[in-house]
Amino acid sequence: MAELFNFEMTATDGKARTGVIHTPRGDIRTPAFMPVGTAATVKAMMPESVRATGADILLGNTYHLMLRPTAERIDRLGGLHKFMNWDRPILTDSGGFQVMSLAGLRKLTEKGVTFKSHIDGSKHELTPERSMEIQRLLGSDIVMCFDECPALPADRDRIAESMRLSMRWAERSREAFGDRPGHALFGIMQGGLERDLREESAEALKNIGFDGYAVGGLAVGEGQAAMFDCLDYAPDMLPQDKPRYLMGVGKPDDIVGAVARGIDMMDCVLPSRSGRTGQAFTRHGVVNIKNARHQDDPRPLDADCGCPACSKYSRAYLHHVFRANEMISGMLLTWHNLHYFQDIMAGMRESIAAGTFDAWQKDFHANREMGDIEPL
Amino acid sequence: MAELFNFEMTATDGKARTGVIHTPRGDIRTPAFMPVGTAATVKAMMPESVRATGADILLGNTYHLMLRPTAERIDRLGGLHKFMNWDRPILTDSGGFQVMSLAGLRKLTEKGVTFKSHIDGSKHELTPERSMEIQRLLGSDIVMCFDECPALPADRDRIAESMRLSMRWAERSREAFGDRPGHALFGIMQGGLERDLREESAEALKNIGFDGYAVGGLAVGEGQAAMFDCLDYAPDMLPQDKPRYLMGVGKPDDIVGAVARGIDMMDCVLPSRSGRTGQAFTRHGVVNIKNARHQDDPRPLDADCGCPACSKYSRAYLHHVFRANEMISGMLLTWHNLHYFQDIMAGMRESIAAGTFDAWQKDFHANREMGDIEPL
């Protein structure tokens, strides 16, 4: 699989890296932000529009898709790419994180997890082997190991126990994944905020051997400062020559701080979810479009943004359609947010390549502080 | 205004007519179907996508816009076209029909109607003069007279009284509209299903003189057969050389039957509303995408349709995203329905021009009867 899937690092600046992940379905420019297409759609967006924002890869959620429409059905229909009309790379999570979030509805054993569907209460099982099978049926390009992770804060024993279970599951995931040319399997480092547990997890994963490595178990309640503390050392424990993926992150400044610490890939529902609830991220801060102060404002959301929402509509219009519960509100704000997130990634890629990432970061933070910032 | 706004009839076939309404904001090919953009958006659609379906003109609703965001605000922001990013013609209704639908919340006098907003209960007044002012503030290209109309069935006295009030209001609308080069004012014929009252209404309108004439008071509960009976004579009572607009119609076979009876323009929420509730109109009948029989169907909605929903997605996908309450469901089905309605209009325009409208109608009905029709 190394021939068909490989990571080419083209430049570094400090700990930050830029490059390209080559896959049979197309290149992924790194640092990469992956919009989330939970149920075979990036909510409120046509796939052509997601691509137009600059996205090279989407994330799909195993948990949601296995319940509805089911992995077997997607397989019969030709796979997730064809099903959702996205022919570029797709990364799927393992379902583990979302199943673990079903407190009270799930039971954890060495073998895996049994749980009840949030849709109809039906009983299901996820194991490393079943997660690999589902992700294969979906046709995922980047498959994630099945893992387990506690919300933070959690006590050290719980974190250690969970991490070691995840490492045994990583080995079973690797075994079950097999050899699939053109498809990659990523391991997931756990260990919470405990440096020695992160080290132990990294060693276990490297011994197994993966095509890429995720930093898991962050963005689960610990706050940005604690997350950055962990990212000050955790990425360095992973192989230099493989992609490093920080799962579930994040806000624009989380993303920039993560890239500065050596992360290559991220995903988050924030730009799409916020778009539907009327929050726009801009280079000048956050705009809550529902606020009455926008109702007569002829200015765009962000005069420096080239997305359709900013180039063709006023804040007054965006306010109006949000207040009127019109679908175009979520469509335009999601488009803007995804466009802005991809603009950040492009800016980081260019400045890392040029060796000017420090200056780029200073501008990024200065613009936000000068702006018309509304609290999230 | 005759120089800037005029109707050029290019061919007739039986009573059916085809032509072009020239306006400063662009040509409107007739017969024309106008998608409804009630609150300054065609629900679930970007305006570029509405245009891509073949729409030359949109309809905006005075009642909704006067309440939110208000006509004065839209005027301050540069008018409805700029506000909603649609630079082609817009027809606005007068608000009359929708205010009359607020049973119990409104009071009718010779002067006009007072009513309470469905949004916040605030009190408002609509008169012919105020309706003309609002439509001017919106920047409407085709302005409709303020009128009143009873739901059918209604007794003859009520219909006659209402029609005569509407004719007095038509005169006041004409007076208040004044002379606005490039903008048109359409009169609205009333009279229910009473032929002599329709005649009386047509004479009154012709004496006042308008740029176009609507057949109002239909599609209000009378059924297709009664509507067609009325359309067998009502359009003939109106000037041959002006556009004739049938308000609030309709289903595909309503539209075809209306054009066959001499109608040039129509509008209806049906394609967009049905799109959001999972109903697709196709040349082979109606598809209710929520039905379980579509869940494994790899076929498109309509193999003969070139819209994005039909060319890029399976029925199985459309079923899945409808069941999952994903916004892309409404986006794709609305796009399909609007595309199909515009395909019907294009087919009628071409066959009328070619003198083959009878054969086209036979094909239209035969296709629908051969198809996989699900009841609405």
ipTM above threshold 0.85: yes
Same domain, B155 and B117: yes
Same domain, A289 and A213: no
Q: Is B240 on the interface with A (CB under 8 A)?
A: no
Question: What's residue B362's pLDDT?
Answer: 97
Question: 């399997």: which residue's tokens?
Answer: A185
Residue A367, pLDDT > 90, answer no
Tens digits of residue pLDDT in B357-373: 999 999 999 988 655 55
Q: Residue B74: give its domain's CATH number.
A: 3.20.20.105
Same domain, A154 and A72: yes
The residue ranking higher by pLDDT, B235 or A221, is B235
**Total of domains in chain B:** 2
Q: Which residues of B touch A85 (CB under 8 A)?
A: 312-313, 317
The residue ranking higher by pLDDT, B3 or A327, is A327
Same domain, B214 and B327: no
Same domain, B177 and B323: no
Q: Read off the pLDDT band of A152 (50, 70, 90).
A: confident
Nearest CA of chain B to the CA of A243: how many Å?
32
Q: Is residue B376 part of a domain?
A: no
Taking an 8 Å cut-off on Cβ atoms, the answer to whether A298 and B78 are in contact is yes
Question: What's residue A23's pLDDT?
Answer: 98
For B76, the closest of A83, A296, A312 (CB atoms) is A296
**Looking at chain A, which residue has its C-alpha nearest residue B299?**
A77
Q: Which residues of B touch A77 (CB under 8 A)?
A: 296, 298, 314, 316-317
Same domain, A33 and A151: yes
Q: Is residue A137 part of a domain?
A: yes
Same domain, B98 and B242: yes
Q: Is residue A374 part of a domain?
A: no
Q: Which residues of A touch B317 (CB under 8 A)?
A: 40, 77, 83-85
Q: Is residue B224 part of a domain?
A: yes
Question: What's residue A340's pLDDT?
Answer: 98
Give me the active site residues of A, please: 93, 267
Same domain, B287 and B149: no
Write the DSSP assignment of A194-207 as a string of letters.
-HHHHHHHHHHHHH
**Is the CA virtual torsion A176, A181, A182, A185 positive or negative?**
positive
Residue B123, pLDDT > 60, answer yes
Q: For residue B49, count other CB atoms closer than 10 A to its CB.
A: 19
To the query of whether residue B267 is one of the catalytic residues in this protein, the response is: yes
Question: What's residue A100's pLDDT?
Answer: 85
Same domain, B105 and B172: yes
Of B215, B233, B267, the position where a domain reaches its end is: B267
Mean pLDDT of B193-201: 97
Tens digits of residue pLDDT in B160-178: 999 999 999 999 999 999 9
Of A267, A288, A303, the position where a domain reaches its end is: A267
Question: What's residue A149's pLDDT?
Answer: 87
Q: Which residues of B touch A323 (CB under 8 A)?
A: 68-69
Same domain, B155 and B180: yes
Same domain, B292 and B308: yes
Tens digits of residue pLDDT in B250-269: 999 999 999 999 999 999 99
Question: What's residue A375's pLDDT?
Answer: 46
Q: Is residue B139 part of a domain?
A: yes
A323 Cβ partners below 8 Å, 6+ apart? Answer: A290, B68, B69
Q: Is residue B356 part of a domain?
A: yes
Of B217, B251, B267, the position where a domain reaches its end is: B267
Question: What's residue B320's pLDDT?
Answer: 98
* Active-site residue (options: B141, B147, B267, B343): B267
Same domain, A289 and A180: no
Mean pLDDT of A135-144: 98
Q: Which residues of B touch A117 (CB under 8 A)?
A: none
Question: What's residue B371's pLDDT?
Answer: 56
B176 Cβ partners below 8 Å, 6+ apart? Answer: B128, B129, B132, B133
Mean pLDDT (chain B, rounded): 95
| Cα gap B127→A222, rounded to integer Å | 61
In chain A, residues 290-329 whose CB comes closer than 8 Å to chain B: 295-296, 298, 308, 312-314, 316-317, 319-321, 323-324, 326-328
Taking an 8 Å cut-off on Cβ atoms, the answer to whether B69 and A45 are in contact is no
A69 Cβ partners below 8 Å, 6+ apart? Answer: A40, B295, B316, B319, B320, B323
Tens digits of residue pLDDT in A202-258: 999 999 999 999 999 999 999 999 999 999 999 999 999 999 999 999 999 999 999
Q: Which residues of B touch A83 (CB under 8 A)?
A: 314, 316-317, 320
Nearest CA of chain A to the CA of B77: how many Å?
6
| Cα gap A41→A39, rounded to integer Å | 6
The residue ranking higher by pLDDT, A122 or B102, is A122
Taking an 8 Å cut-off on Cβ atoms, the answer to whether B69 and A312 are in contact is no
Question: What's residue A24's pLDDT?
Answer: 97
Q: Is residue A375 part of a domain?
A: no
Q: How far is CA A48 from the centre of its chain?
A: 19
In chain A, residues 77-96 whose CB comes closer than 8 Å to chain B: 77-78, 83-85
Q: Could you list the residue range(s) of the whole structural domain that residue A51 is in?
A: 6-267
Contact assessment for residue A32 and residue A66, using Cβ atoms and an 8 Å cutoff: no
Q: Is residue A1 part of a domain?
A: no
For B328, the closest of A41, A77, A314 (CB atoms) is A41
Output B320-326 pairs: Cβ under 8 A, ≥24 positions apart. B320/A39, B320/A40, B320/A68, B320/A69, B320/A83, B320/B295, B321/A39, B321/A40, B321/A41, B322/B278, B322/B289, B322/B290, B323/A68, B323/A69, B323/B290, B324/A39, B324/A68, B326/A39, B326/A41, B326/A43
Mean pLDDT of B285-292: 95
Contact assessment for residue B315 and residue B30, using Cβ atoms and an 8 Å cutoff: no
